[in-house]
A and B are shown apart, each in its own frame.
Chain A
């Protein structure tokens, strides 16, 4: 069984389903059978459609080109359809969602897997930048400490004395318990 959902796929650019579209469908199916099945010369006449509804859904069967009363095995038809799914879809400007074959699950394309996951690239960039920032910071602080050590030693001693006195006087209001 075959289901078309033309309007949902195309919206304003939807085409009207008519006899010609049906002809195209039968032709694409014949093409699929020719290419992916046993190589016999299938023709449009070998694809028989029945039970068409306004929904644009219908049943179809494929007859063998050698003998019109012989039906081709369902499994072979399914396999042919599955292999040429993308061609059939693009003939009607539709996709796997909007052109449904009941009973034939779509073989979805494997997603493109890049060698390095893209998030690692972004991570690497940010980590590199932050790492560089830290190195700059540490180097500049080591340099700053180095300068303080060599220059103004007596100043430092006087300063630390003053600090020591201040902290001693701060203690007094607290020690009264």
Chain B
């Protein structure tokens, strides 16, 4: 590609769809509904929208502007802005690399579940039988069948990060497939990606819409939606709400990875990215809300089903213990009967009292889950109760796959575009370079398919990107506003768009966003220090649930390594450039420069 002119998107629509496909990812589906639930339902939208305006859109605009102006990947672009701060680009690439390593595992799981949906009975709907064939396997009975399927059959998880086992072949095959498809999508660079994003950006909305209709017609869906949207405005007084809103906007838009810079670098010089930045940000925000409505209607359904099953079990228990006729106790009057029986037969009642589960719809709705637990456990539990569950399962996991793939494309581009710009690599063909990157990530990613792989995945997920991104974007906005200068930046934008950015943008870049980011940064550090030893959730076979466990020493060291390795790129690169300049300068004393 070094021989030809830089590739371009075929039309601006491809660029917008690529940004949408990248920004709208799994976080919109599995993190935002959780935050909504934790921070007061509908009321959470207020801090969310405020943060979008204060921080999300200005930073998004800034990254697009940089990419489009410099027409280079993140390393080249930042080196062009200020040679000492090229390290910002390097830090972005390192963070993107960490993300690429572990993110495709999620796609591998989606493939696994997708392929397992083509069976007459969904495998996570029933517990497999034990060797005597007298009942289900114990681990499955103490937990639930969906948890068993995820932890035992999908991951074959060990009981802590220290215990290691072999690679799970099924997982490895699915990971291979995920990387092969990723390669297929990016093999020719923007030419192939540009066509793929039509599908990866639009199809998830089709599925979400279908699920919206399905969700609303489910029994008990309304309970969930009402529960979510009832605003609990007192949560707004809690500073954690605002911090979480800011953090969610920040990560949801995918700032700091270098992807936006990479995508924009393939734009025509005069592309109107100002309008596109606003459109993509609002689409991302709207999708989060849309996905939450769907998620909560499904939550409501699942909670209602669990509640009714609980009532049914209690009813059966009462019938069996007190030998009542079958139609005397119905689901509606279970609680009245409990009262009655407690007073008339106190002794007998006391005997079964420990078997009585308290059935409560509120507490079923309260079980807020996020992340992989929501996507693969809670959702699959809801799906198995729907009629024609295979169809819904296929649709759902296909959607997860497309959301994940769309974000993966962006992250891989964030690595490949700067690599492309290096003159050293310009004589390697597109296909070969992309293939090498994919193979490299695949081989390292196989580590996540081992029995302790999920714990490493969680470590990367929690620590690999968050801190470094905050740092990178803070450095970006300070560099652009103060080191490069707002005046020069304004002129660059005028050059591209034909008009200067108005006062709103300038205030955000120079004042509000840096302050917000510094606050987030400090809060993150304080939380980390106050949190004590970092912990993770380890799956306990006997108890059939996850227990909080501390990371061992090597785990903590690795976390420190993850945090330091990307952040240190900035000072290290600055140092390297400084030393290189000093070596050059004595030789240049004679030249006219």
Task: Give the B-binding residues of A (Cβ under 8 A).
Answer: 3, 5-8, 53-57, 105-111, 118-123, 126-127, 130-131, 133-134, 137-138, 141, 145, 156, 159-160, 163, 174, 177
Q: Considering the chains assembled together, what is the distance between the CA atoms of A133 and B184 in angstroms? A: 7
Q: Considering the chains assembled together, what is the distance between the CA atoms of A158 and B328 in angstroms? A: 94
Known A123-B174, A160-B3: A108·B323 in contact at CB below 8 Å = no
Q: Considering the chains assembled together, what is the distance between the CA atoms of A50 and B517 in angstroms? A: 78
- Is there an interface contact between B134 and A107, defined as CB atoms closer than 8 Å? yes
- Is there an interface contact between B323 and A54, defined as CB atoms closer than 8 Å? yes
Cβ of B116 within 8 Å of any chain A Cβ, yes or no, is: yes
Known A108-B133, A145-B429: A130·B177 in contact at CB below 8 Å = yes
- Is there an interface contact between B326 and A56, defined as CB atoms closer than 8 Å? yes
Q: Which residues of B contact A163 (CB under 8 A)?
A: 3, 5
Q: Which residues of B contact A127 (CB under 8 A)?
A: 173, 176-177, 180
- Is there an interface contact between B3 and A110, defined as CB atoms closer than 8 Å? no
Give the total number of A-B pairs whose CB atoms are below 8 A apart: 99
Q: Considering the chains assembled together, what is the distance between the CA atoms of A68 and B232 in angstroms? A: 73
Cβ of B316 within 8 Å of any chain A Cβ, yes or no, is: yes
Q: Which residues of B contact A120 (CB under 8 A)?
A: 115
- Is there an interface contact between B3 and A6, defined as CB atoms closer than 8 Å? no
Q: Which residues of B contact A141 (CB under 8 A)?
A: 187-188, 429-431
Q: How many residues of chain B get a CB closer than 8 Å to chain A's CBs?
A: 43
- Please indicate which of the listed interface residues B118, B173, B312, B323 has the most CB atoms of chain A within 10 Å of its own CB: B323
Q: Considering the chains assembled together, what is the distance between the CA atoms of A161 and B325 in angstroms? A: 95
Within 8 A of A (CB), among B103-142: 111-112, 114-116, 118-119, 128-129, 133-135
Task: Give the A-binding residues of B (Cβ under 8 A).
Answer: 3-5, 79-80, 83, 111-112, 114-116, 118-119, 128-129, 133-135, 170, 173-174, 176-177, 180-181, 183-184, 187-188, 192, 312, 316, 319-320, 323-328, 429-431
- Is there an interface contact between B184 and A174, defined as CB atoms closer than 8 Å? no
- Is there an interface contact between A111 and B128, defined as CB atoms closer than 8 Å? yes
- Is there an interface contact between A119 and B187, defined as CB atoms closer than 8 Å? no
Known A108-B134, A156-B3: A137·B184 in contact at CB below 8 Å = yes
Minimum CB distance partner of B327 in chain A: A7
Can you pick out 20 interface pairs between chain A and chain B where the beta carbons lie within 8 Å of each other? A3-B320, A5-B326, A7-B326, A53-B323, A55-B326, A56-B326, A57-B323, A106-B134, A108-B129, A110-B129, A118-B118, A122-B114, A123-B174, A127-B177, A134-B184, A141-B429, A141-B430, A159-B3, A159-B4, A174-B79
User: Which of these, A57, A123, A134, A159, contacts B320 with CB under 8 Å?
Assistant: A57
Minimum CB distance partner of B319 in chain A: A55
Minimum CB distance partner of B177 in chain A: A127
Known A8-B326, A130-B181: A122·B115 in contact at CB below 8 Å = yes
Minimum CB distance partner of B72 in chain A: A170
User: Which of these, B114, B184, B320, contacts A130 with CB under 8 Å?
Assistant: B184
- Is there an interface contact between A107 and B118, defined as CB atoms closer than 8 Å? no
- Is there an interface contact between A123 and B111, defined as CB atoms closer than 8 Å? yes
Q: Considering the chains assembled together, what is the distance between the CA atoms of A109 and B116 in angstroms? A: 22
- Is there an interface contact between B135 and A134, defined as CB atoms closer than 8 Å? no
Q: Considering the chains assembled together, what is the distance between the CA atoms of A122 and B115 in angstroms? A: 6
Q: Considering the chains assembled together, what is the distance between the CA atoms of A56 and B429 in angstroms? A: 78
> How distant is A67 from chain B, measured CB to nearest CB, in Å?
32
Known A119-B112, A123-B173: A6·B187 in contact at CB below 8 Å = no
Q: Considering the chains assembled together, what is the distance between the CA atoms of A130 and B174 in angstroms? A: 13
- Is there an interface contact between A137 and B187, defined as CB atoms closer than 8 Å? yes
> How distant is A137 from chain B, measured CB to nearest CB, in Å?
5
Q: Which residues of A contact B135 (CB under 8 A)?
A: 105, 108
- Is there an interface contact between B177 and A119, defined as CB atoms closer than 8 Å? no
- Is there an interface contact between B3 and A55, defined as CB atoms closer than 8 Å? no
Closest 10 CB pairs of A and B: A54-B325, A119-B115, A53-B323, A122-B115, A55-B323, A7-B326, A105-B134, A119-B116, A108-B133, A122-B118
- Please indicate which of the listed interface residues B112, B114, B326 has the most CB atoms of chain A within 10 Å of its own CB: B326
Minimum CB distance partner of A109 in chain B: B133
Minimum CB distance partner of B321 in chain A: A55
Q: Which residues of A contact B192 (CB under 8 A)?
A: 137
- Is there an interface contact between A174 and B129, defined as CB atoms closer than 8 Å? no
Q: Considering the chains assembled together, what is the distance between the CA atoms of A138 and B431 in angstroms? A: 8
- Is there an interface contact between B115 and A134, defined as CB atoms closer than 8 Å? no
> How distant is B363 from chain A, measured CB to nearest CB, in Å?
25
Known A106-B134, A118-B119, A163-B5: A55·B177 in contact at CB below 8 Å = no
Q: Which residues of A contact B187 (CB under 8 A)?
A: 134, 137-138, 141
> How distant is A35 from chain B, measured CB to nearest CB, in Å?
22
Minimum CB distance partner of B135 in chain A: A105
Q: Which residues of B contact A134 (CB under 8 A)?
A: 180, 183-184, 187
Q: Considering the chains assembled together, what is the distance between the CA atoms of A53 and B430 in angstroms? A: 80
- Is there an interface contact between B3 and A126, defined as CB atoms closer than 8 Å? no
- Is there an interface contact between B316 and A123, defined as CB atoms closer than 8 Å? no
> How distant is A100 from chain B, measured CB to nearest CB, in Å?
8
User: Which of these, B183, B325, B431, contacts A55 with CB under 8 Å?
Assistant: B325
Q: Which residues of B contact A3 (CB under 8 A)?
A: 320
Q: Which residues of A contact B116 (CB under 8 A)?
A: 118-119
User: Which of these, A108, A130, A145, contacts B180 with CB under 8 Å?
Assistant: A130
Q: Considering the chains assembled together, what is the distance between the CA atoms of A118 and B181 in angstroms? A: 21
- Is there an interface contact between A54 and B324, defined as CB atoms closer than 8 Å? yes
> How distant is B344 from chain A, measured CB to nearest CB, in Å?
16
Q: Which residues of A contact B80 (CB under 8 A)?
A: 174
Q: Considering the chains assembled together, what is the distance between the CA atoms of A145 and B431 in angstroms? A: 12
Q: Considering the chains assembled together, what is the distance between the CA atoms of A3 and B325 in angstroms? A: 12
User: Which of these, A109, A137, A160, contacts B431 with CB under 8 Å?
Assistant: A137
> How distant is A50 from chain B, measured CB to nearest CB, in Å?
13
Q: Which residues of B contact A160 (CB under 8 A)?
A: 3
Q: Which residues of A contact B325 (CB under 8 A)?
A: 54-56
Q: Which residues of B contact A56 (CB under 8 A)?
A: 325-326
Q: Which residues of B contact A105 (CB under 8 A)?
A: 134-135
Q: Which residues of B contact A177 (CB under 8 A)?
A: 83
Q: Which residues of A contact B111 (CB under 8 A)?
A: 123, 126
> How distant is B539 from chain A, measured CB to nearest CB, in Å?
22
Q: Which residues of A contact B323 (CB under 8 A)?
A: 53-55, 57
> How distant is B352 from chain A, measured CB to nearest CB, in Å?
15
> How distant is A177 from chain B, measured CB to nearest CB, in Å?
7
> How distant is B250 from chain A, measured CB to nearest CB, in Å?
30
Q: Considering the chains assembled together, what is the distance between the CA atoms of A111 and B325 in angstroms? A: 35
Q: Considering the chains assembled together, what is the distance between the CA atoms of A126 and B180 in angstroms? A: 11
Q: Which residues of A contact B319 (CB under 8 A)?
A: 5, 55
If A5-B326, A55-B319 are given as contacts, then 19 extra A-B residue pairs at C-beta distance below 8 Å, sorted by A number, are A8-B326, A53-B323, A57-B320, A105-B134, A111-B129, A119-B112, A121-B118, A123-B115, A130-B184, A137-B188, A137-B192, A137-B431, A138-B187, A138-B431, A141-B187, A141-B188, A141-B430, A156-B3, A174-B80
Q: Considering the chains assembled together, what is the distance between the CA atoms of A5 and B118 in angstroms? A: 33
> How distant is A15 from chain B, measured CB to nearest CB, in Å?
12
Q: Considering the chains assembled together, what is the distance between the CA atoms of A8 and B311 in angstroms? A: 13
Q: Which residues of A contact B5 (CB under 8 A)?
A: 163
> How distant is A54 from chain B, measured CB to nearest CB, in Å?
4
